[in-house]
Structure 1
């Protein structure tokens, strides 16, 4: 049977603030439990079942859930076990005892931000395009990209599996031989950035994913992984809880295709 704990104790254990500061948050009406404001000291929380947020930001109470950011290097496939013997993600998860899996995929020659977790419900929200979670890519492409080409990317291009438009596109730099283009997309279609850029006549030479939803790769070196901070976890869980009317589908705790 789930055990109830004092609300300030739960917040302190979750790393939100010290117990004294948590008491001030509660009295100020900044804490909600299951959507209702809790402003009385001594109120009880069931950490295993209750949903808690502070200032509208979700608080992780389930300590069994793990959230990791990896800067995936090129040459590594986005799988926990590759049946062709290629380098996979297993070498980046040894530091954590949980069985982690990747949220979505980056192709082998694309580097950048990949989320590893054991939270199937969150993984479903992050990976499914219907929730509109955006990803930001920086592509080094062949040739000089024009403003007209940037406009075409945002208006949409026709691919063999249907039309696609970037949520945002921006030219960062250009020379005679190469250009740097930033693309923001919520599509999860296979190799979508490479196919879009090829369609407009600028094949991708190098590609890195810098952002995934509220997460930013920052200065994390290629091939390194770290746990998400309390703030980052809160941002992800807030996003997950705002997903309308969704439940975890069968198999959501498996690798995302």
Structure 2
């Protein structure tokens, strides 16, 4: 059953949108009337429409809306020296120092090695985490790498064309030089790729004789680190949550289409 069908149970669509933080109930009503709201892929324009927040999928202007108030999504700027684990058996600094004060129990989506800093997503949404972390869904990550030596344009092209590593071929999606140090000792390079393989950026630069000195992940899918300070945690905005859910739902639909 969808919101466009007559039903007496469930929650009024505009109330659900307001509860999800999309807009006030009055503005949510306007969004519905303007035909900007979809329920289960169909545009709904009736203000009396009701939905089941646990099963119906709602989108506004093509962006998915999370109706489950218990789902939480956070961005962490992970410092160096911290392992991407909620419990490290070797006693090294782990992520719990950043999550202990959160009301919900969350876990990290993917990993950054201890020497790499930057954007790490934390959530209690297992379904979304599976999609975002799985390499077959191709979520892009952008890194800023400080590497040894002066990187030539030919080297960037080599990384784009693909190189062979011990666990198979790999190529970056995009790469550009941001800054070449005046003493020729280091180069700052921005690289974007969708691989989730272990220490992949470091291994790629090792393979072209430009070892990484410092590495920061600035972007994960639609999420940007921005000015979030090292060690800080913030909850994602409604727009950011919607962007992640849109990716996850599209991936899920693609998988079902292959069956």
Where on the TM-score scale, by shorter chain, does this alignment land: which range?
Answer: over 0.9
For 1:5 and 1:192, how far apart are their aligned partners in 2? 46
Deviation at residue 95 of structure 1 after TM alignment: 2.4
Runs of at least 4 residues off by over 2 Å: 244-247
Aligned counterpart in structure 2 of residue 71 of structure 1, from 77, 85, 88: 77
The Cα offsets for residues 101-151 of structure 1, whole Å up to 9 and x where unpaired, read as 100000000000000011111001111111110000000000000001110
Deviation at residue 246 of structure 1 after TM alignment: 4.2
For 1:32 and 1:82, how far apart are their aligned partners in 2? 43
Extract unaligned runs of 5+ from structure 2. Answer: 1-8
The Cα offsets for residues 60-104 of structure 1, whole Å up to 9 and x where unpaired, read as 100111100000000000000000000000011122222211000
- The answer as to 2:136 corresponding to 1:134 is no
SS of equivalent to 1:242: helix
Matches within 5 A, 1:94-105: 94-105=100-111
- The answer as to 2:190 corresponding to 1:182 is yes
TM-score by length of 1: 0.93
Q: How many residues align?
A: 246
TM-score by length of 2: 0.93
Extract unaligned runs of 5+ from structure 1. Answer: 248-257
Partner of 1:146: 152
- The answer as to 2:126 corresponding to 1:120 is yes
Matches within 5 A, 1:1-257: 4-175=10-181, 176-243=184-251, 244-246=253-255
For 2:100 and 2:57, how far apart are their aligned partners in 1? 30
Distance change >3 Å, CA 121–CA 241, structure 1 → 2: same
